[in-house]
Amino acid sequence: MSGNEGKPHVGLNLVYLVPGETGGTETYARELIPALLAERPELRLTAFVNREAAAAGSGPWLEIPSVTVPVDAGRRSAWVRGEQQLLPGLAARAGVDLLHSLANTGPVRGRFRRVVTVHDLIHRTHPEAHFGRIAGAMRWLVLLAARRSDRLIVPSEATRRDVVEMLRIATVRIDVVPQGVAVPPRAAADPAGVRERLGLGERRVVLAVAAMRPHKNLARLIDALALIPVERRPLLVLAGYPTGHEAELRARAAQLGLLSEVRFPGWVSAADLEGLYATASAFVCPSLYEGFGLPVLEAMARGLPVACSGRGSLAEVAGGAARFFDPERPEQIAVAIGALLGDRAEAERLRAAGLDRAARFTWAATARGTLASYERVIG
């Protein structure tokens, strides 16, 4: 496939992307676009972005030809309107042959061919993760996008199974393309500065990076912290964008007398996140469901020993490089944390295994798998 005039033209549906607010799907776009061009420099790409992304001033979607879809996508209803009502006409006028929608949903009409990346089916497995009426809307939007697309890209075999079972999509239409992890870190770490800003002192730190949503299971992680004897108890840092669920987590910590033992820094800058990775002694992911689990690989790539749930795709992604626990049993989570902090040999084994495991997941490989999916649609 080539991107010269007369050759296939690929559009990227980024109407959803609000810089700094979109989490893993933003990381996916930021890393995939340059990786696609590194693999295929002649590839003809056009990004379709909302007003916020167009005004951001930087981002790989602005380093290629782009078209602004005139919506403010901070509200889900505006995103849906832009994607369903405005994008088909704009994509047709741009002359795209294939439209790749990067975040679960995509337009159901238009004469171009379609590929959609379905990161997970959290709206079906854990509808409480989407507040208000969003879960119900997502059921239909994702289902329609999947059925109208020529091919689906999913990041794991676990998500492929979910798509086959829950959306009734034929396996032959689905491409499993794992995502990558950026190594080395792109932002300079300042662990001393992070310790000072978050009041961490000299305490050992256990880090979790997750949105404050119920399925991330952070309440049981707080319960587990309470089970660790005071003299061995680390500080717990829960980094990730805040939601209404955070108030429940704070109340749980207060109820257990742990408010001084838990930090809620919210969404942190790239530099501060690197500082947290450099500060932490261990990384914990207690999630009940993940379509891929990129934070686990990001922690491994930075040399942190990892303990995580074996649910969803996490066991598949982490392989033998993490200590697993039942996420519904706080006592198991507490034992896993204790092993990472108290057993130096185990921590070193997991640190080395994690570095090796993360190195197998590259954005170059993601780009190659994505290009192969395109070629199966348009040759």
Looking up tokens 């296939």, which residue turns up?
A: 8
Q: Which of 25-39, 176-190, 278-292 has the lowest mean pLDDT?
A: 176-190
Structural domain includes residue 43? yes
Stretch 189-195: mean pLDDT: 88
pLDDT of amino acid 180: 96
- Percent residues over pLDDT 70 in the chain: 95
Same domain, 19 and 168: yes
Residues in the chain: 379
Same domain, 215 and 127: no
In one letter, which amino acid is 25?
Answer: T
In sign, the C-alpha dihedral spanning 228, 229, 233, 236 is positive
With cut-offs at 50, 70 and 90, classify the pLDDT of residue 182: confident
Same domain, 314 and 371: no
Q: Among 115, 120, 102, 7, which residue's Cα sits nearest to residue 61?
A: 102
Q: Among 116, 277, 131, which residue's Cα sits nearest to residue 195?
A: 277
Structural domain includes residue 110? yes
Same domain, 168 and 223: no
Token couple for 169: 């999509």
Dihedral pair phi/psi, residue 46, rounded to 5°:
-135, 130
pLDDT of amino acid 161: 96
With cut-offs at 50, 70 and 90, classify the pLDDT of residue 123: confident
Q: Please report the beta strands in 141-234, taking only residues with DSSP state E, as ranges in sequence order.
A: 151-154, 174-176, 205-209
pLDDT of amino acid 2: 42
Stretch 162-179: mean pLDDT: 97
Structural domain includes residue 118? yes
With cut-offs at 50, 70 and 90, classify the pLDDT of residue 5: low
Distance between CA 66 and CA 54 in Å, rounded? 8
User: What are the pLDDT digits (tens) for 222-275?
Assistant: 999 999 999 999 999 999 988 889 999 999 999 999 999 999 999 888 889 999
Torsion from C-alpha of 288, 294, 295, 298, nearest 10 degrees: 150
Structural domain includes residue 186? no
Looking up tokens 């995580």, which residue turns up?
A: 308
Looking up tokens 């992911």, which residue turns up?
A: 285
pTM to 2 decimals?
0.90
User: What are the pLDDT digits (tens) for 193-235?
Assistant: 999 999 999 999 999 999 899 999 999 999 999 999 999 999 9
With cut-offs at 50, 70 and 90, classify the pLDDT of residue 6: low
SS (HEC) of 306-330:
EEEECCCCHHHHHCCCCEEECCCCH
pLDDT of amino acid 73: 78
pLDDT above 90 for 104: yes
Distance between CA 304 and CA 300 in Å, rounded? 5
Structural domain includes residue 159? yes
Distance between CA 67 and CA 88 in Å, rounded? 12
26 Cβ partners below 8 Å, 6+ apart? Answer: 17, 18, 19, 20
Tally of domains within the chain: 2
H or E element at residue 192: helix 191-198
Q: Among 356, 366, 19, 24, which residue's Cα sits nearest to residue 209?
A: 24
pLDDT above 50 for 3: no
Same domain, 250 and 372: no
Burial class (CB in 10 A: 0-12, 13-18, 19+), 2: exposed
Same domain, 199 and 312: yes
Structural domain includes residue 152? yes
Return the number of other C-beta atoms located less than 10 Å from residue 110's C-beta: 18
pLDDT of amino acid 75: 78
Same domain, 370 and 346: no
CATH code for the domain in which residue 83 is found = 3.40.50.2000
Mean pLDDT of the chain: 92
Q: Among 101, 103, 96, which residue's Cα sits nearest to residue 119?
A: 103
Distinct helix (H) and strand (E) counts, the chain: 16, 13
Distance between CA 158 and CA 129 in Å, rounded? 19
Same domain, 165 and 229: no
Question: Kindly report the CA angle at 345 between 339 and 351, in degrees rounded to 5?
Answer: 85
User: What are the pLDDT digits (tens) for 279-318?
Assistant: 999 999 999 999 999 999 999 999 999 999 998 899 999 9
Stretch 161-178: mean pLDDT: 97
With cut-offs at 50, 70 and 90, classify the pLDDT of residue 24: confident
pLDDT of amino acid 20: 79
Distance between CA 274 and CA 365 in Å, rounded? 24
pLDDT of amino acid 55: 92
pLDDT above 90 for 33: yes
Same domain, 156 and 210: no
Q: Does the N-terminal peptide bond of residue 155 adopt cis geometry, omega within 30 degrees of 0?
A: no
Structural domain includes residue 2? no
Token couple for 322: 């993490």
H or E element at residue 101: strand 98-101
Containing structural domain, residue 299: 191-359
Structural domain includes residue 99? yes
Same domain, 121 and 28: yes
Same domain, 338 and 295: yes
Q: Among 205, 208, 274, which residue's Cα sits nearest to residue 240?
A: 208
Same domain, 175 and 278: no
DSSP string, 150-164: SEEEESSHHHHHHHH
